């Protein structure tokens, strides 16, 4: 695996949660030290760590247009921002019970998060600190979210078995009945909404124009978890149940190839991302 850009993630070490920056100039092998696999290394690779101020399940870091990193602090009920130049943190408290699971930052620097604990999609203005909550009709547990080119947010409701749509201009949420405990979510180049049915071993595709959902079956016990769209339009999906990575052609609606990962069947790959050069 070739890593060409700086990558950010949060990891747990003891009772602390750390923000890590990976800077790799040459080849590096991603492994899984949690599963007894020793990652490869290169002399020019460097890892820098910063302790998140509230070490309570910080997760899902996302970059903003200002170059800073925003983080959901799920158990701490906060959103954190890491200033990548000053190397300092700022945190905002969220409404009681929000328990943010995932977040994204739009082109205007506004932060949107899934309130997994109180059934909301939240909107944080980092300039004023004001938070507005949009309640999902089903209540449920909003999970992972993505924004389309029109500024519409699409999100999964895992245990509620729904796909949600939030019009960020009006605050109106529409929900679509799904199945299989929807988890990860991504958009293809045609604007279709794809999601992982982690409990159903399938991928779902929602047509935003009709609301119709179709499914693509994956191997038994594969438990697809999260996904990402590559520049060539293909989808990459982690199979947490079988320790694999799958590439999907969304136009043909078929699996292109399934890749075994170094950590093996019990590795439990969680998430995947693809950079602008198509490197996974």
User: What is the per-residue DSSP string for 155-216?
Assistant: EEETTTTEEEEEETTT--EEEEE--S-EEEEEE-TT--EEEEETTTTEEEEE-TTT--EEEE
* pLDDT confidence of residue 134: 98
Q: What's the CA gap between 64 and 111, in Å, rounded? A: 8
Closest to 199 measured CA to CA, from 181, 219, 178: 181
CATH number, span 178-280: 2.120.10.30
Cα 144 from chain centroid (whole Å): 6
Sheet holding 7-13, edge to edge: 7-13, 16-23, 46-51
Cα→Cα distances 155→19, 158, 222, 259, Å: 25, 9, 22, 27
Cα 32 from chain centroid (whole Å): 19
* pLDDT confidence of residue 18: 53
Low-confidence ranges of the chain (pLDDT < 50): 1-6, 11-17, 22-39
* pLDDT confidence of residue 277: 86
In the structure encoding, which two tokens stand for residue 80, read together?
Answer: 């954190």
In the structure encoding, which two tokens stand for residue 158, read together?
Answer: 């895992």
Are 72 and 100 a contacting pair, CB within 8 Å? yes
Q: What's the CA gap between 259 and 66, in Å, rounded? A: 35
Alpha helices in 158-239 (DSSP H): none
Q: Is 34 helix (H, G, I), strand (E, B) or coil?
A: helix
In the structure encoding, which two tokens stand for residue 95, read together?
Answer: 């409404």
Longest dimension (CA), the chain: 52
* pLDDT confidence of residue 9: 54
C-alpha atoms less than 13 angstroms from C-alpha of 97 in its C-beta half-sphere: 8
Beta bridge partners of 134: 121
Q: What's the CA gap between 59 and 54, in Å, rounded? A: 12
DSSP 91: E
Q: Within 10 A of 99 (CB to CB), how many other CB atoms are there?
A: 20
Q: Is 211 helix (H, G, I), strand (E, B) or coil?
A: coil
Q: What's the CA gap between 214 and 204, in Å, rounded? A: 6
Tokens 């490197």 correspond to what residue?
Answer: 279
Q: What's the CA gap between 58 and 16, in Å, rounded? A: 9
């Amino acid at each position: 695996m070739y890593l060409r850009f700086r990558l950010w993630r949060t990891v747990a070490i003891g009772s602390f949660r750390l923000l890590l920056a990976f800077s790799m100039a040459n080849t590096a092998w991603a492994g899984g030290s949690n599963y007894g696999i020793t990652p490869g290394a290169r002399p020019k690779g460097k890892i820098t760590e910063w302790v998140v101020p509230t070490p309570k399940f910080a997760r899902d870091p996302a970059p903003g247009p200002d170059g800073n990193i925003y983080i959901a602090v799920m158990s701490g009920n906060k959103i954190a921002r890491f200033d990548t130049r000053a190397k300092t943190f700022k945190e905002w408290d969220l409404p009681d019970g929000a328990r943010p699971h995932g977040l994204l930052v739009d082109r205007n620097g506004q932060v949107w998060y899934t309130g997994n604990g109180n059934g909301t999609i939240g909107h944080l203005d980092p300039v004023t600190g004001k938070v507005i909550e949009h309640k999902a009709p089903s209540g449920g547990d909003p999970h992972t979210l993505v924004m389309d080119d029109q500024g519409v947010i699409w999100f999964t409701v895992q245990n509620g078995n729904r796909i949600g749509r939030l019009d960020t201009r009006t605050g109106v949420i529409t929900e679509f009945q799904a199945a299989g405990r929807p988890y990860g979510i991504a958009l293809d180049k045609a604007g279709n909404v794809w999601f992982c049915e982690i409990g159903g071993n399938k991928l779902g595709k929602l047509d935003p124009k009709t609301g119709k959902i179709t499914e693509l079956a994956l191997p038994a016990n594969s438990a697809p978890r999260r996904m990402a769209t590559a520049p060539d339009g293909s989808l990459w999906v982690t199979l947490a149940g079988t320790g694999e990575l799958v590439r999907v052609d969304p136009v043909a609606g078929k699996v292109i190839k399934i890749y075994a990962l170094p950590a093996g069947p019990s590795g439990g790959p969680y998430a995947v991302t693809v950079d602008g050069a198509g490197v996974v």
